Amino acid sequence: MRLRNKVTIVTGAASGFGKAIATRFVQEGATVVVADINGDGAKQVAAELGELATAFTCDVSRKDDVEALVAHAHGRGDRLDAVVNNAGWTHRNQPMLGVDEATFDRVFAINVKSIFHMTHAAVPLMRRARSGVILNVGSVAGLRPRPGLTWYNASKGAANLLSKSLAAELAPDGIRVNAICPVIGATGLFGEFMGVPDTPENRRRFLATIPLGRFCEPDDVAHAAVFLASDEASFITGVELPVDGGRCI
């Protein structure tokens, strides 16, 4: 019960990494707001997790939505202990000049601007409490980029660096900020990351770049999130933690 009584938000929690993080947080005793633009999916996950979880429909690229989400979470226990900015989006793996402006804007709005909105909404509450944890789900794409995902790579590079800069600025307030950087995983965006048909041969090509020989699983990210959100990591801030099976070696 490493997160007992902690009030937390997990965005993009209706599926994939976010669902696994929300699940593990509840198992560790946290009160979790399952936030997702897919409201029905969020409600289903919250129902599965029981009384410690509530659902909230939220477009993380919209300031008003994020402010309402934070207010809802704060109302669950008159506190906000941890936020996991997990919601993300990508463009299809393709040459950089093939990505149009609308797609670029959407990727940066969800992957980067969402952190701006969440920081503005959550940090004042954490500052008053003199404690708090912000976890940004970045990516190894922001550490060791693959060709064909240039604009996505840039957005995750921004998320990774934001985490370090926020950590430096917020440390005097008792707020820790870290980035979790997964390698490609079999989530709903798997086909977009590959940019080619999902065949055994194409999977083998991607697996060949991961020394431990498998894709990232949602629980791999969730275990890292539990540790970084817990008091066991009370002296850890500003790290970009690869959860990548050795991809960045």
Residue 54 to residue 38: CA distance in whole angstroms: 14
Domains with residue ranges and CATH for the chain: 7-243 (3.40.50.720)
DSSP states of 82-112: EEEE-------S--GGGS-HHHHHHHHIIII
152 is catalytic: yes
Tokens 């938000």 locate to 9
- Can you give the pLDDT at residue 187? 73
- Can you give the pLDDT at residue 126? 98
Q: 22 with 44: CB under 8 angstroms?
A: no
- Can you give the pLDDT at residue 143? 95
Tell me the whole-structure pTM to 2 decimals.
0.95
- Can you give the pLDDT at residue 197? 74
The parts of the chain modelled with pLDDT lower than 70 are: 188
CA 19 vs CA 10, 99, 100, 106: distances in Å: 8, 29, 30, 22
From 89, 108, 152, 193, the catalytic residue: 152
